Amino acid sequence: MSVLDTTDVLDVAGYAAAVRRSLVDLGPELVDDLTDDLEADLAEALDDERHVAHGRGLLDQFGPPEAYAAELRAAAGLAPASTGARRVRVLSDPVEDTRRLGRWALRRLRALTWWAPVEAFLVALRPVWWIARGWVAYSALVYVLGGARLRFLPTELALWLILALCVLLSVQWGRGAWFQSRSVSWVAVLGNAAAVVLLLPVLVTVQDQSHQREEVYDSYLAGAFGGDGTRTILQEKAIDGVVVDGMQVSNLFIYDAEGNPLTDVQVYDDRGRPVRTTYDNGYEQYWFPEGTEPWSFVSRTDADGRARWNVYPLRGAPTSQFTYGDDGVQVLPIGTDASTPPWPFAKAPALDAPADASIGAEGVTPSATPTP
Amino acid sequence: MDTTQLLKGVLDLAVLAVVADEDGYGYDVVRRLRAAGIEEVGDASVYGTLRRLYSSGALTSYVVPSDEGPHRKYYGINAQGRAMLEAQRKDWQEFAGTMGRLLKTEVVR
């Protein structure tokens, strides 16, 4: 037999598969027995110059595969296929049909040059599948029994034992050590198919449940369920606004050197950006210590007509006094003036010395400075 | 006349004779039948016949591994097959003689 063109081999494989399909009602063993060498015989006949109709295609030389199968069957002294019975048989034996389809597909793939290394790689990966199959079986078992929440790996000794047993069974079967007798092999085949089907749902469920678990654990750590009490929030980006002692403040109160309250003070940072305590443009409500109702703030307007939120103390009014404007914005009704929220104290401590360099030049400072 | 119809009755005999000569695999038997002048035999008929003769116990079978091509299933004749071959050969020769005489008289007349 000489080297064949790849397309010829493909044709031969397809033809042989069609012949086998026509014989499927005979059962796998008889079909294999009848068609053991079919590909080789077909290929050799195609190659033989003395063969009738040499040089023509498979169909020209051998006729339709169904006719070929019928001839084979008749010559072997086997009953011709009754189409009706065959239909029923094909439908009633999807396992054999699938297996045959798989064999046919494999035969076609093996005719491709790139397939050999891929198949070798996949074969090398088979033990991985055995373990995965065992794990899927374990997960499905735990899920059905409902004993524990699904996780990637068990947490209890008993569950570890079940997992080990499942992996042991799967690997031993994969190695061909157990479950090889015909009477039980269908159980193993069924198990394999179930593992393939269940792999994805089990992975999704486990992933989902592990995720939930992590969330619950996180909130436990964070003090939910009456745990530690303090909830710590970690954020990648700093909160915008002004924070004092870890707490965001809503308003700033400014006192001068003598400790007198100042109003309408504009505050900027070192880069000239307005320092804002609120970013809600007046939508939110703020509670003050010992206040009886929440307040909302209003902005000041600068000479150019722009809203300024960095003018302190922010003014506002109890939220109940606000109404909604036509554009849905919360506004104070005309006639109601914004007022300054309660000051924390009427007067702050005065500074020890006026921050005026000219005073020092006049010689007052040395006397005011306490000598250590 | 359609010789395939004639052949059906004696294909067993032809295949037995070829295999008795020398062991052979499927297509090898087809080729030797053709070389002997039986051109119109279908490949599948030969394979089916080999299989049937094997399962009836007239042939033995063994697989010959090959380094280059696929492994081939060889058929060889056994004692039962030889006995069958002898009996059928006798039947055929008697039948052929009868037919020969019959056809001869037809032609002469």
Those residues whose C-beta lies under 8 Å from the C-beta of residue A35, and which sit 6 or more positions away, are A16, A19, A20, A23, A72
Closest chain B C-alpha to A69 CA, distance in angstroms? 7
Is the separation of the CB atoms in A13 and A104 below 8 Å? yes
Taking the C-alpha atoms of residue A66 and residue A15, their distance in angstroms, rounded to an integer, is 10
Please state the rounded mean pLDDT for residues B51-73: 84
| Farthest-apart Cα atoms in chain A, separation | 133
pLDDT along chain A (372 residues), means of 10: 44 84 83 85 78 67 85 83 51 69 82 83 90 90 76 83 91 81 75 87 83 73 58 64 84 90 91 88 81 85 87 88 77 81 88 61 46 48
Please state the rounded mean pLDDT for residues B24-53: 89
Taking the C-alpha atoms of residue A207 and residue A199, their distance in angstroms, rounded to an integer, is 12
Residue that wins the pLDDT comparison between A86 and B9? B9
Please state the rounded mean pLDDT for residues B52-77: 85
Residues recorded for chain A:
372
B67 touches A: beta carbon within 8 Å: no
Taking the C-alpha atoms of residue A85 and residue A89, their distance in angstroms, rounded to an integer, is 6
Whole-number average pLDDT of chain B: 86
Taking the C-alpha atoms of residue A180 and residue A359, their distance in angstroms, rounded to an integer, is 105
What residue has token string 């790139």?
A: A114
Which residue, among B7, B11, B51, B54, would best test binding to A if mutated, counting the most A CBs under 10 Å from its CB?
A: B51
H helices of chain B, in order, are 3-21, 26-35, 43-55, 79-108
A302 touches B: beta carbon within 8 Å: no
Whether residues B27 and A34 touch (CB distance < 8 A) is answered with: no
Q: What is the pLDDT of residue A232?
A: 61
Sign of the CA dihedral running B7, B13, B17, B20: positive
DSSP string, A68-94: HHHHHHHHTTPPPPPHHHHHHHHHH-H
Give the C-alpha distances (Å, rounded to integers) separating A148 from A142, A160, A198: 7, 12, 18
Is the separation of the CB atoms in A16 and A42 below 8 Å? yes
Q: What is the pLDDT of residue A4?
A: 43
Residues 5-44 of B with CB under 8 A from A: 11, 25-27, 30-31, 34-35, 39-40, 42-44
Taking the C-alpha atoms of residue A306 and residue A239, their distance in angstroms, rounded to an integer, is 24
Q: What is the pLDDT of residue A246?
A: 78
Nearest-by-Cβ selection for A45 from B25, B27, B40: B27
Please state the rounded mean pLDDT for residues B91-106: 86
B4-108, CATH topology level: Arc Repressor Mutant, subunit A (1.10.10)
Domain locations along chain B: 4-108
Q: Is B74 helix (H, G, I), strand (E, B) or coil?
A: strand
Tens digits of residue pLDDT in A184-193: 777 777 888 8
Q: What is the pLDDT of residue A284?
A: 81
Whether residues A72 and B47 touch (CB distance < 8 A) is answered with: yes
Q: What is the pLDDT of residue A236?
A: 64
B69 touches A: beta carbon within 8 Å: yes
Token pair, residue A28, equals 């796998």
Which residue, among A72, A73, A107, A110, would best test binding to B if mutated, counting the most B CBs under 10 Å from its CB?
A: A72
Lowest mean pLDDT among A220-229, B44-53, B62-71: A220-229
Please state the rounded mean pLDDT for residues B26-44: 88
Q: At what angle do helices A28-35 and A6-22 cross, to 10 degrees?
A: 140
Task: Report residue A178: phi and psi, to 5°.
Answer: -120, 165
Neighbours of A18 (CB within 10 A): 16
- Read off the pTM: 0.40
Q: What is the pLDDT of residue A128?
A: 92
Closest chain A C-alpha to B109 CA, distance in angstroms? 38
Token pair, residue B85, equals 């071959």
Q: What is the pLDDT of residue A82?
A: 61
